Structure 1
Amino acid sequence: MSALLLADVTVFVLALLVGFEVISKVPATLHTPLMSGANAIHGVVLVGVMLLAATVTGIGGYVLLAVAAFCAAMNVAGGYVVTDRMLAMFRSRR
């Protein structure tokens, strides 16, 4: 394993651990704003997929792009559905 790969894996593992700790400490009142922020991040992933689509060669690259686009689109759509349902709890009933 090269030193560069080891550094990348170390950063990835540390990001996972810190992310888990931060998310697990979020109180219930902040879940809706956190979900909205996650939607914005996955929107950026979709833009990245569109930019990479112009430079990909080979079937493997297209498969990875399709998987990335599908996962990001599902996260964006699901996040907005969950956010809408959470905000519906605060709307007045008629």
Structure 2
Amino acid sequence: MDGITLLTFFVLAVVIGFEVVSKVSTTLHTPLMSGANAIHGVILVGAIVVTGRTTNVFTLILGLLAVILATVNMVGGFVVTDRMLEMFKGRAPKTAPAKKREDS
């Protein structure tokens, strides 16, 4: 494929992805993030496998970069998911201070 076709696919994917994600309700974001974290885990394993089998220095550097970026992406996804789950927990009810009993 030529560069214009690839650029067209990229632009269409960005526009469609933005439209799809922006229409998702907030209650569905946490399950979607969990699914995305699973996909990032598969990408990380693939990057490790490909990097481990390389014999070229340039490919090794690109593979290490892919492993680092996939790790950051996956860990960041777990951090965001954890923060979102904390938002759904709600606040703990405040306990009223115990009243002192006056002995007369």
Q: Same fold (TM over 0.5)?
A: yes
5+ residue gaps, structure 1 = none
C-alpha RMSD over aligned residues: 2.1
Q: Name 1:79's counterpart in structure 2.
A: 77
Return the alpha-carbon distance in structure 2 between the equivalents of residues 29 and 56 of structure 1: 42
TM score, norm. by length of structure 2: 0.71
Counterpart of 1:5? 2
Cα deviation per residue 1:10-65 (whole Å; 9 max; x = unaligned)?
Answer: 43333222212211222211111111111011101111112212332322211111
**8 Å CA contact retained: 2:51, 2:64:** no
Question: Which residue in the other structure is 2:30 paired with?
Answer: 32
- The residue number in structure 2 matching 1:91 is 89
User: For structure 2, which runs of at least 5 residues remain unmatched after alignment?
Assistant: 94-104
| Aligned residues between the structures | 91
Structure 2 letter corresponding to 1:52: V
- Mapped to 2, the partners of 1:5 and 1:45 lie a distance apart of 26
In the alignment, the residues of structure 2 paired with residue 8 and residue 55 of structure 1 have an alpha-carbon distance, to the nearest angstrom, of 28
Report the TM-score, using the length of structure 1 for normalisation.
0.77
Q: 1:58 aligns with which of 52, 56, 59?
A: 56
Partner of 1:41: 39
**C-alpha distance in structure 1 between counterparts of 2:18 and 2:74, whole Å:** 20
Q: Which has the larger radius of gyration?
A: 2
Percent identity over the alignment is 52
**RCO higher in 1 or 2 (8 Å CA, sep ≥ 6)?**
1
Q: Of Structure 1 and Structure 2, which has the larger fraction of its residues in helix?
A: 1
